[in-house]
């Protein structure tokens, strides 16, 4: 019951335990003797004092462990394989550098992500170039830097690449054809990409045309096929259906099976584990694809989401009208997932972890839709309290913005009790840097 009212607030779940809550934070997150969270061995209160709020905290050890879990797990199941990070989930040079150190390939979806990946030390030969509207400049940069694979999304990609390669005699660009398998997973419409009507890829009849044309090209080398059906998928069946679809197109040397594995954002989410996901994919590949073919997977959200925690400070607490509004110093400027996709996030007072009253956690932006989480339990929230929101490593950074002139937060890596900013906080001077007199 909200204090001071007679209106009960219904929770979207059974009241969670302390361990349920900690289970959403990066593995190894604990509470200090004073009750405060420690992430990557760093106390959140000390991090807030040093870096300010809002801030995006990344447990570096958790991110490395996740990368190894994917790479080792896939290699054990399918030796001729590779893991490529779908970098649109977190296009930050420090993340590119860390995953390059772990031996991962990288997929990029724009010339900006390509520039960041190369700046982060990614081997160009391990870059997979994506995009449904690749410009001449983007493709030219990909060719000139030696990108390992370009994914053909449409016939214009073929025209552009052949024209670009005409100026570099003897150069051959390896490519994959992106197939739209007409598979619709149970996810938000905006992040479903494999169904008929998607702007991505080619349906099977058009994919066959592209395959035939590429096999006749003297500048483009067709290595295989690519398929990706969406993001935040909590069921294995769509992945099997996608493999079945590309298997109809014949035998190839490479099959990039995309990503899409969902992350556990809430107490009720039950996504397949990395191991279950890899079991499903490799079993389908073993049954339907050539034994000698190289299999690539492209995890994005499921690679980085659980390593991240957003840290805010409470500015106001407003009770009345049947709800308790807890307003923090961030919001839709640093987390658009709620507004765009209706994604739910859990949260806690960072120095009094777990339990409390149902609250509506809202941001500071001038829009009623600026809600971070509704019906979340917060223990006696007061102005000045720190609020920690887990599972924010994916897409919060890449979708951050300057709504209401807000300055984007820093990214802080935490590991073994040490912290370092890998992206500094934006300033008002940054907001005006591109303005002309």
The catalytic site residues sit at 366
Q: Which residues contact 347 (CB under 8 A, 6 or more apart)?
A: 361, 372, 373, 376, 378, 387, 388, 389, 390
Alpha helix positions (H), 266-394: 274-288, 301-304, 337-341
Q: What are phi and psi of 117, to 5 degrees?
A: -60, -45
Please check whether residue 385 is in contact with residue 349, taking contact to mean a CB–CB distance below 8 angstroms: yes
Give the β-pairing of 55-59 and 357-362: unpaired
Cα–Cα dist 220/23, whole Å: 47
DSSP state, 18?
H
CA dihedral defined by 364, 367, 368, 373, rounded to 10 degrees? Answer: -50
HSE-CB at 431 with a 13 A cutoff on CA atoms is 13
Please check whether residue 207 is in contact with residue 179, taking contact to mean a CB–CB distance below 8 angstroms: yes
Q: The dihedral of CA 90, 92, 98, 100: what is its sign?
A: positive
Cα–Cα dist 260/86, whole Å: 10
Sheet of 37-39: strand order equals 30-31, 37-39, 42-43
């Amino acid at each position: 019951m909200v204090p001071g009212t007679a209106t009960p607030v219904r929770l979207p779940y059974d009241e969670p335990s302390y361990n349920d809550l900690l289970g959403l934070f990066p593995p190894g997150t604990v509470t200090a003797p004073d009750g405060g969270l420690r992430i990557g061995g760093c106390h959140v209160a000390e991090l807030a004092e040093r870096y300010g709020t809002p801030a995006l905290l990344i447990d570096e050890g958790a991110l490395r462990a996740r990368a190894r879990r994917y790479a080792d797990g896939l290699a054990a199941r399918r030796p001729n394989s590779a893991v490529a990070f779908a970098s649109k989930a977190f296009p930050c040079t420090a993340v590119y550098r860390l995953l390059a150190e772990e031996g991962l390939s990288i997929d990029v979806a724009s010339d900006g992500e390509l520039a960041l990946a190369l700046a982060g030390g990614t081997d160009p030969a391990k870059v997979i170039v994506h995009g449904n509207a690749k410009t001449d400049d983007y493709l030219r940069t990909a060719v000139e830097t030696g990108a390992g694979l370009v994914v053909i999304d449409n016939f214009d990609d073929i025209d552009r690449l052949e024209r670009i390669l005409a100026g570099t005699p003897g150069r051959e660009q390896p490519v994959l054809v992106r197939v739209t398998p007409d598979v619709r997973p149970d996810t938000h419409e905006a992040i479903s990409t494999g169904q008929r009507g998607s702007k991505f890829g080619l349906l099977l009849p058009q994919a066959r045309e592209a395959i035939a044309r590429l096999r006749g090209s003297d500048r483009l080398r067709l290595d295989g096929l690519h398929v990706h059906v969406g993001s935040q998928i909590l069921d294995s069946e769509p992945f099997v259906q996608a493999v079945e679809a590309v298997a109809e197109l014949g035998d190839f040397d490479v099959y990039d099976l995309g990503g899409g594995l969902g992350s556990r954002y809430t107490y009720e989410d039950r996504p397949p584990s990395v191991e279950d996901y890899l079991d499903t994919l490799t079993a389908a590949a073993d049954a339907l694809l050539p034994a000698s073919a190289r299999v690539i997977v492209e995890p994005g959200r499921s690679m980085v989401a659980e390593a991240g925690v957003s840290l805010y400070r409470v500015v106001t607490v407003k009770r009345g009208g049947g709800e308790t509004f807890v307003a923090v110093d961030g919001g839709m400027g640093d987390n658009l997932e709620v507004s765009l996709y209706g994604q739910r996030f859990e949260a806690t007072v960072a120095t009094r972890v777990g339990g409390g009253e149902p609250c509506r956690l809202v941001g500071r932006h001038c829009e009623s839709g600026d809600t971070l989480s509704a019906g979340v339990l917060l223990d006696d929230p007061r102005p000045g309290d720190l609020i920690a929101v887990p599972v924010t490593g994916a897409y919060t950074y890449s979708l951050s913005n300057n709504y209401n002139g807000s300055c984007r937060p820093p990214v802080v890596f935490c590991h073994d009790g040490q912290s370092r900013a890998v992206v500094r906080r934006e300033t008002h001077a940054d907001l005006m840097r591109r303005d002309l007199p």
